[in-house]
Every structure is written in C-alpha cells, then in structure tokens.
C-alpha cells in the first residue's frame, strides 16, 4: 500500500453531469488505493438515490465513497457544512495512508474545499434574498455580487439563485475565498464531452431514470411524510415525477422536461468549470482510454458512464 502524507494532494475529478466523472474517479481511486469524497450537492441527500443517480456500492466497485448521506431533506446544509465534513473525511482517508479522490459537479464545493473559504461564521439567513425568487431579482442580485465581491462571483454559478443569495450573505460578512480558511493542494482533472454527444447521453440517461423506480422512490418519500414542495425542490426531475404521478403530464412529457432541465444545468456547469485554470482537461475519448488503462491491471470492466 502506498504511503500518503497528511498534506498529499487531493485528486479532484470535475465536469458537467453525465460526462463520466464517477466512472473515472472510481477507477482512479481503485488504482491509487484511495477513497472517494462526493462533491455533488444533490447526491449528498441521504434520502435521495434514484433521482440523483447516486452511485451504488456495486458501481463503486468496493471503493468507499464519503458524502452520500451528509444532509437530510429540508435540513440546512451550507457550503461551510460541506467543507467541514469533507476536510474531516480527507483527513481520515490520509490517516489510513490512502488517497482522497474528490468527485462532483458542484464547483463551489470543490473550490471551497481546495482553496479555503473564510465563511465569517455566517449561517444561512432565515429569510431568502430576492435572488432565490429568480427572474429579474436574480439578475440584479448577480450584478450586485459581481460589484461587491468579484472574487466570490467568479466562483459562483450566477444562474443559480440560491447560490447567488448565499454568496451575497458571505460577502456581507466579509467572507472571501482563500482568506483564513484551510486550503489543500490538489491535482485537478476535468472531463469534456462534445455538446451533441453529451446531450444524447443526458437524454438516454433520463429515459432510463424517469420510470417506475423513481416513481416508487417518490411514493416512499411521500409515505414517510416528506412534503411535496420539499421534494419538488430537492433536485432536477422530482417536480416532473410528481406531476407524472398525479396524472398532470405523461411519462414522455416528464422525460422530455427533465432532459431539457438537465441539459441547461450541464451547460451552466461547463461554463463554470471553464473559468478554472488549474483543470487538466481530458476529452471524452482520452478519458475512456485512460479509464481502460487504469482498470486493466485490476481485471475490472469499467462501470457505466455516469
């Protein structure tokens, strides 16, 4: 087993949804005798699985994956909460002499972990800012954030109203990235997929996910007392599955709507990550070649692209 120092670099695998991040991270972690740390804000919900395409133990090929159960539906969970839990997980992984492979598409989570954020002790505000309401209020809030804290604005998806609202709270408290928070060395790897191919993958994945298993998950959550409004806002697709379940739209309509929303999200992720100069980008074909090489010595078949 390789010896890994406490401050050894993290391996960070990022990219838009459906590019194959989990697939590559699993193979790399297995090859490096490491463990994964999830940096996907939706897969962190302990209550959600099917709808957020959460990797299963079988798909992880026995590689431990931390951070798949760090938050509950309706419970406050900030970037600061993620950073605290992720640092703890990375420290524990290093103490076992293993490599931490951070994987996910929530860019702010990754940058906050790697660069160190001073959150100023700021808890989420009890009343959401206007940005959360979307529309023109969100546009104005984004402009205000760029003016007040351009360093924070460069690290936030300005199309995500809730993230803009949270960043404004941090700016009000004087919080800034790299100012006082713990940072960690990291080796960044990103996966890029041609737009037409990525859109086709999203459509195929959506057709596979939006069906009886997801509907059963929704039924189970409602049966446990989770409010429909909470579930609808939890992640892309739950609102549409609720509408399909209620007979308001057909299954085909649900799939089409989820695919469109996921595609818009993927484009926003790609734009966000393009601003990160440290990423060593792999094109899709190059990633596949690396993946096969990484797992060849393990006698594994690469898990399905995620």
Alpha helices (H) along the chain? 21-31, 79-95, 107-115, 135-148, 150-153, 161-172, 195-209, 212-223, 228-232, 238-245, 251-274, 284-296
Q: What is the predicted pLDDT for the residue at 161? A: 75
Is the pLDDT at 53 greater than 80, yes or no? yes
**SS3 of 101, please?**
strand
Distance between CA atoms of 209 and 255, rounded to whole angstroms? Answer: 9
Q: Which domain holds residue 145?
A: 128-176
Does residue 224 fall inside a structural domain? yes
Residues 214 and 260 occupy one common structural domain: yes
Residue 184 CA to residue 116 CA, distance in Å, equals: 8
The answer as to whether 211 is a domain residue is yes
pLDDT in tens, 150-176: 777 776 777 777 677 767 766 665 555
Q: What is the pLDDT of residue 48?
A: 97
Nearest to 255 by CA among 193, 202, 213: 202
| CATH number for the domain harbouring residue 204 | 1.10.287
228 & 260 share domain: yes
> Over the stretch 77-108, which tens digit does the pLDDT of each residue have?
888 899 999 999 999 999 999 999 999 999 98
Token pair 């994964």 is found at 36
Taking the C-alpha atoms of residue 302 and residue 294, their distance in angstroms, rounded to an integer, is 9
Residue 149 — pLDDT band, cuts 50, 70, 90? Answer: confident
The pLDDT, as a whole number, for residue 298 is: 42
pLDDT at 268 over 60: yes
Residue 212 and residue 162 share a domain: no
What does the pLDDT read at residue 42?
Answer: 95
Number of domains forming the structure of the chain: 2
pLDDT digits (tens, 9 = 90+) for 196-243: 999 999 999 999 999 999 999 999 999 999 999 999 999 999 999 999
Strand partners, 21: none
């Amino acid at each position: 087993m390789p010896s890994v120092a406490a401050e050894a670099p993290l391996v960070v695998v990022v990219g838009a949804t459906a590019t194959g991040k989990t697939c590559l991270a699993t193979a790399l972690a297995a090859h490096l005798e490491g463990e994964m740390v999830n940096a996907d804000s939706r897969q962190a919900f302990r209550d959600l699985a099917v709808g957020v395409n959460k990797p299963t133990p079988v798909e992880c090929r026995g590689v431990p994956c931390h951070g798949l159960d760090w938050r509950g539906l309706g419970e406050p969970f900030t970037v600061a909460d993620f950073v605290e839990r992720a640092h703890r997980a990375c420290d524990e992984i290093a103490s076992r002499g293993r490599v931490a492979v951070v994987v996910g598409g929530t860019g702010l989570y990754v940058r906050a972990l790697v660069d160190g954020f001073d959150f100023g002790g700021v808890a989420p505000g009890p009343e959401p800012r206007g940005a959360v309401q979307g529309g023109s209020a969100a546009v104005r809030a984004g402009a205000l954030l760029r003016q007040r804290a351009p360093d924070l604005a460069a690290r936030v998806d300005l199309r995500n109203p809730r993230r803009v609202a949270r960043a404004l709270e941090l700016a009000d408290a004087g919080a800034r990235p790299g100012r006082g928070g713990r940072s960690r060395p990291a080796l960044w790897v990103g996966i890029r997929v041609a737009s037409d191919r990525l859109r086709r993958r999203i459509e195929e994945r959506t057709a596979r996910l939006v069906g009886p298993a997801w509907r059963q998950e929704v039924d189970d959550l409602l049966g446990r007392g989770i409010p429909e409004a909470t579930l609808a806002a939890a992640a892309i697709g739950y609102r549409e599955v609720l509408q399909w379940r209620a007979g308001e739209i057909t299954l085909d309509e649900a799939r089409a709507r989820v695919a469109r929303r996921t595609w818009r999200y993927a484009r926003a992720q790609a734009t966000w990550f393009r601003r990160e100069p440290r990423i060593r980008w792999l094109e899709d074909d190059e990633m596949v070649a690396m993946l096969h090489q990484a797992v060849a010595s393990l006698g594994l078949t690469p898990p399905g692209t995620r």
